[in-house]
Structure 1
């Protein structure tokens, strides 16, 4: 289990423009960091850089604990705006795919379906699900991937109040178990042991 994630003076560019500049922060095991800021402030850019999808222009990311020599992308799971569901595959087939892809334990598939109220949809192709159901299926990937660090971009999009509550229960269980969550959000999230990092302004968070 990763005990801490450190960012040391990181900068990230998108399209030749410096979006994140000289940013430092630390998130410890059993804590969540909520990324705040206006559209264009760099929330999604930061998450994608942490996941390893974008290179750092400068600075360094460092892990403590776990397989500290591994890239953060190898010890994290990113859920962005796209749910990454294959429309022709059933709900359970989608989760079985992601479990195998991320070397997760097979028994986590049914646990994930139950945690996000997907059991009754297990054998329905993802393409027939509603927007909220597809979002829950996409978020269920977190539970079958078994990664210490969860990177979430607007995770409550398309979720009704009941589904948001179920998601917060899943996230808080992860935090209580020593996991780390970094989430970009415009909405309040009832995450335990959380702090906020305001992007688009000068300053660091520790």
Structure 2
């Protein structure tokens, strides 16, 4: 039995339950450096925000605060009325700078672990890889993948989490043009389900109707 061609669209996934992210009066700092002051942000189903600005302006710090990893100096973050640390298990899929792959582990082994962890059927692995044009490498060890291929694998992990709020730190950093196109399609599909996306980026990302927040001007 042959696998479905890459051009075949996957079965439409069900819409996410309605989710709202609210940020008010947020202050962030690193040592004596103020990264954000009195920041406000409202995000609803299907919306996306691109965090821009030079290195050191607080893009990653803001993402970490939204994920509940970092306590802000002031202000409030809520996800459907809950603090991020409480909402994270059901609402947030996180992608940091590290791809979370073990060198000797194949893509199949890595994604089986994540699918089981998130309670997602293993049958979801292959469609996620097809969407990223990585299904032909499913049994290749991570150590034999290029940096861009490793990033695509990490993005497949985000898809498998099946959570409505994606927090992505430089998701397109090592990707080539084809990889960025795959990412754009994934984001569009996620937003069509009512998902939310916030991404820190140094690269221009062509995501229709995405808002831009320049952290260097806060």
Indicate whether the TM-score tops 0.5. Answer: yes
How far did residue 100 of structure 1 move? 1.7
- 5+ long unaligned stretches in structure 2: 1-16
**Residue deviations 1:116-162, cap 9 Å, x none?**
11111111111111111111111111111011000111111111111
Kindly state the Cα deviation for residue 93 of structure 1 after the two structures are TM-superposed: 1.0
**RMSD of aligned residue pairs (Cα, Å):** 1.8
Task: Select 1:86's aligned residue among 88, 102, 105.
Answer: 102
Corresponding residue of 1:110? 126
**Alignment match of 1:35 (pick from 40, 43, 51):** 51
Q: Indicate whether 1:48 and 2:57 are aligned.
A: no
In the alignment, what sits opposite 1:73? Answer: 88
Shift of 1:20: 2.5
Q: Secondary structure at the match of 2:216?
A: coil
Partner deviation per Cα, 1:17-67 (whole Å, 9 max, x = no partner): 4323221111111010111111111101101111121112211111238xx
State the distance in 1 between where 2:160 and 2:76 align.
29
More strand by share: 1
What TM-score, normalized by structure 1, do the two folds share?
Answer: 0.90
The separation in 2 between residues aligned to 1:83 and 1:120, in whole angstroms, is 19
User: Secondary structure at the residue paired with 1:3?
Assistant: coil
- Change over 3 Å in CA distance of 1:2–1:168 after alignment to 2: same
Equivalent residues of 1:10, 1:56 under 8 A apart: yes
> Is the 1:50–1:72 contact (alpha carbons within 8 Å) kept by the matching residues of 2?
no
Alpha-carbon contact 1:175-1:192 (below 8 Å) kept: no
CA gap of 1:102–1:20, structure 2 versus 1, over 3 A, is farther
Residues 40, 69 of structure 1: alpha-carbon distance in 2 compared, 3 angstrom cutoff: closer
Alpha-carbon contact 2:173-2:203 (below 8 Å) kept: no
> Scaled by the length of structure 2, what TM-score is found?
0.85
Q: Name structure 1 gaps, 5 residues minimum.
A: none
- Give the CA deviation at 1:173: 0.4
- Aligned equivalents of 1:188 and 1:42: distance in 2? 18
Once residues 2 and 108 of structure 1 are traced to their aligned partners in structure 2, the CA distance between those partners, rounded to angstroms, is 23
Cα distance in 1 for residues equivalent to 2:140 and 2:199: 29
Residue 190 of structure 1 corresponds to 206
Specify the alignment match of 1:181 in structure 2: 197
Change (3 A) 1:22 1:109: same
Divergent runs of 4+, >4 A = none
Residues 75-154 of structure 1 aligned to structure 2 (within 5 Å): 75-154=91-170
